[in-house]
Amino acid sequence: MNHLKLSTSLFFLLFSLLILNAQNGHNVWLQNKKAKTVNVVSSKESPTLNIAKNELNQGWLGTDGATITLTVKRNKSLKQDGFILNENGITANTDLGILYGTFELLRRQQTGESTSNALSIPSYDQRILNHWDNPNGSIERGYAGNSLFWRYGKDSLTVTDSDIKLWQEYARINASVGINGSVLNNVNASPMILTSGYLQRVKAINDVLRPYGIKTFLSIKFSSPSLIGGLETSDPLDKNVIKWWRDKVKEIYTLIPDFGGFLVKASSEGQPGPQDYGRSHADGANMLADALKPYNGIVMWRAFVYSPTDEDRAKQAYTEFAPLDGEFRDNVIIQVKNGPIDFQPREPFSPLFGALKETAIMPELQITQEYLGHSTHLAYLAPMWKEFLESDTYQEGEGSTVAKTTDGSLFDQKLTAIAGVANTGLDDNWTGHTFAQSNWYAFGRLAWNHELTSEQIADEWLKLTFGPFSLENKNYDVDFDEQAWNTNFLNPVKQMMLDSREAIVDYMMPLGLHHIFSPNAHYGPGPWYGPARARKDWTSLYYHQADSLGIGFDRTPTGSNATIQYEEPLRSQFNNIETCPEDVLLWFHHVPWDYKMKSGKTLWEELCYHYDTGVHKVRTFQTIWDKAKPYVDHERFYEVQTKLRRQARNAIVWKDACLLYFQEFSNTPIPYDIERPLHNLEDLKISTMKRPLDYNN
């Protein structure tokens, strides 16, 4: 071997070692690749097209030396930023369409799908991340470090080179899955966000995000006119208030001409809103919409409203919003959480979907795992979101799925959108848990195409994140045995992902149980939580209603009658204990402990087996992952392995806590073929109040 060859080999060895060591997940599903040469021809230049060219040069895995043409021209079969891939290249109506087509092309090269004759059009026009980031850098319900956008301290508003680099990486990741909007701050908004220093920083962020096609939005505090504007009121019908907002909007658009608009949490969980002044949600939303209209800005007005009245919390959003249908401006869209309560591991869909026929409405999903084990438990959420999007509302007859009632295909919505509460932060791997990256990915993919299956998305994500093309994964540099990889890694790990959400439902709250967490952190179990002085709808006792007769919330006409908000035949189906789907049985019914389930078991036994199954599933995940070791770099392997161990311990705590506590009401033994509890209820009551929940560890 001559000197040159030797030093080149040494260089590559060192290089791969360095890269290997640096595998901290920061590149998410956009792993560095050994690209081949490609000749990219484009009829025009623009910052967005330059990004597309760069991506092709860095990631081309097709024929070496191929020529690819990027063509921006009007094509009637394409809506907005859709694109067509064919043998010669990418065609789109817009530069951004070319960028999306580029990412699709490169993705297909890696996953082995055909790269020719594909036409792709987004399901929703606006595909938006909601960041619950506070101006001091903390993140509400964030489990992956501090904010990417805001920080604490006296230089907090200075824009540094590392800020810009990070925002650019963030924008690239989002664009790669078609996300085109970011709300940069918490819906529990500080009024400070609308002051000049913060707006300057929003402008800086927007400048970085723009070429990647991402619009910025802000959450606003409804009482800003009085809090920072010196006005005596924030009444939306007051002329000074109207003027204040108009001026503020003008100031924003002068700085950021392509600003997206506002997200508003108003008259909700103590946040100020129009109801403080005797006005309606429509009055509040329309006033802001009028101010934004001249600039094409929009208002996303949240329907997450409930107050401590006697009315069932699950009914309140519908009660407040259904009568307002048709009263909102056409640049207002009502943002509704997928379920009627709050992002629980399983909820039926919110009855507002489909109920507003003359008002644009958008789903809000939660990517961050507030109620699904934070960034410790492995939960792939696409199955949960698909279950929701495919739920039939029956609003316009059979087949009126949530997807269709929101994507403009059933109702003539001028605006269509979908939001996901982000799980990103300053952690090296962005999301805390490596597998939580799959939820960021899945949200973007489903927002772009809600017809994709959970399996397909998991398959793509695994191939891109851990697959053979990644430079980081030295196992495949030499010789890649695809069959072995599929059998030993891809298929079992994909199955683990697909089963992971249901495992959590099983060991946390099966059969329609909901919100029985220990308070505040929403991490560990707290089915016993219900101090006499606590707000009733913030206690677990309110939600499970366990007593000596049975368990569950009666939402039929003999109870809160929440079922009336659903269209027939769903309403009757939910009302009848025999036809109500068992996975939401305790959501709708108070069921006797000895009620015979479809399996032939009593309700109590069925509950016990679900908790036990959940624990067993996590133990299976551990085995799958341990076997995957040869196929994963050290850092990500051990991170996931450690977290699965903790998840397994936590699952046992959940099972023991819930079964021992509910047994006090059922007065029946836990079936003897189920492993005996490892904990005492009294100890659990003390320890699970805290996070981290690592009893005895």
Query: How many Å apart are CA 534 and CA 50, to the nearest integer?
Result: 57
Considering the candidates 269, 330, 482, 594, report the single residue annotated as catalytic. Answer: 269
From the number of C-beta atoms within 10 Å of its C-beta (0-12, 13-18, 19+), residue 500 rates as buried
Give the residue with the Cβ less far from ligand GCV, 342 or 656: 342
Quote the least distance from Cβ 310 to ligand GCV, whole Å.
20
Query: How many Å apart are CA 35 and CA 23, to the nearest integer?
Result: 19
Give the residue with the Cβ less far from ligand GCV, 78 or 341: 341
Query: How many Å apart are CA 507 and CA 607, to the nearest integer?
Result: 10
Give the residue with the Cβ less far from ligand GCV, 51 or 365: 365
State the amino acid at position 392 in one-letter form: D
Quote the least distance from Cβ 367 to ligand GCV, whole Å.
13
Quote the least distance from Cβ 371 to ligand GCV, whole Å.
8
Which residues are registered as beta bridge partners of 591?
Answer: 551
Helix, strand, or coil (residue 662): helix
Quote the least distance from Cβ 188 to ligand GCV, whole Å.
5
Strands (E), 38-183: 38-42, 66-72, 83-86, 89-92, 118-120, 126-130, 181-183
Give the residue with the Cβ less far from ligand GCV, 187 or 372: 187
DSSP for 352-378?
TTTT-SSS-EEEEEE-S-TTTTTTTS-
Give the residue with the Cβ less far from ligand GCV, 290 or 364: 364
Query: How many Å apart are CA 45 and CA 211, to the nearest integer?
Result: 12
Token match 């929009």: residue? Answer: 298
β-strands 89-92, 66-72 pairing = parallel
Give the residue with the Cβ less far from ligand GCV, 140 or 477: 140
Peptide bond into 692 cis (omega under 30): yes
The question of whether 269 is a catalytic residue gets the answer yes
Considering the candidates 312, 320, 342, 537, report the single residue annotated as catalytic. Answer: 342
Nearest to 330 by CA among 411, 210, 217: 411
Give the residue with the Cβ less far from ligand GCV, 102 or 268: 268
Query: How many Å apart are CA 583 and CA 572, to the nearest integer?
Result: 16
Helix, strand, or coil (residue 631): helix
Query: How many Å apart are CA 98 and CA 86, to the nearest integer?
Result: 12
Quote the least distance from Cβ 313 to ligand GCV, whole Å.
11
* Sequence-distant (≥ 6) Cβ neighbours of residue 517 within 8 angstroms: 371, 523, 524, 525, 526, 529, 540
Give the residue with the Cβ less far from ligand GCV, 220 or 615: 220
Q: Are 588 and 574 contacting, i.e. CB atoms less than 8 angstroms apart?
A: yes
User: For every residue of 533-558, which 3-state class applies, written as one string?
Assistant: CCCHHHCHHHHHCCCCCEECCCCCCC
Give the residue with the Cβ less far from ligand GCV, 269 or 428: 269
CB atoms within 10 A of CB 137: 18
As given in the structure block, the two tokens for residue 660 are 């021992």
Token match 């609308």: residue? Answer: 194
| Helix (H) or strand (E) run with residue 591 in it | strand 591-592
Token match 């063509």: residue? Answer: 71
List residues binding ligand GCV (CB under 6 A): 132, 140-141, 186-188, 265, 269, 304, 342
The question of whether 104 is a catalytic residue gets the answer no
As given in the structure block, the two tokens for residue 172 are 């690239």
Give the residue with the Cβ less far from ligand GCV, 253 or 538: 538
Q: Are 559 and 553 contacting, i.e. CB atoms less than 8 angstroms apart?
A: yes
Sign, Cα dihedral of 282, 286, 289, 291: negative
Query: How many Å apart are CA 367 and CA 97, to the nearest integer?
Result: 25
Give the residue with the Cβ less far from ligand GCV, 371 or 461: 371
Quote the least distance from Cβ 522 to ligand GCV, whole Å.
6
* Sequence-distant (≥ 6) Cβ neighbours of residue 481 within 8 angstroms: none
Quote the least distance from Cβ 537 to ligand GCV, whole Å.
11
Phi-psi region of 40 (alpha: psi -120 to 50; beta: other; left: phi over 0): beta
Strands (E), 161-242: 181-183, 215-220
Give the residue with the Cβ less far from ligand GCV, 133 or 460: 133
Quote the least distance from Cβ 200 to ligand GCV, whole Å.
25
Considering the candidates 370, 502, 537, 635, report the single residue annotated as catalytic. Answer: 370
Quote the least distance from Cβ 142 to ligand GCV, whole Å.
10
Query: How many Å apart are CA 44 and CA 41, to the nearest integer?
Result: 9
As given in the structure block, the two tokens for residue 522 are 């929403």
The question of whether 407 is a catalytic residue gets the answer no
Phi then psi for residue 138, to 5 deg, are: -75, 165
Between helix 491-508 and helix 603-627 the angle, nearest 10°, is 150
Quote the least distance from Cβ 185 to ligand GCV, whole Å.
11
Strands (E), 344-489: 361-366, 417-421
Query: How many Å apart are CA 157 and CA 201, to the nearest integer?
Result: 6
Q: Which residues are catalytic?
A: 269, 342, 370
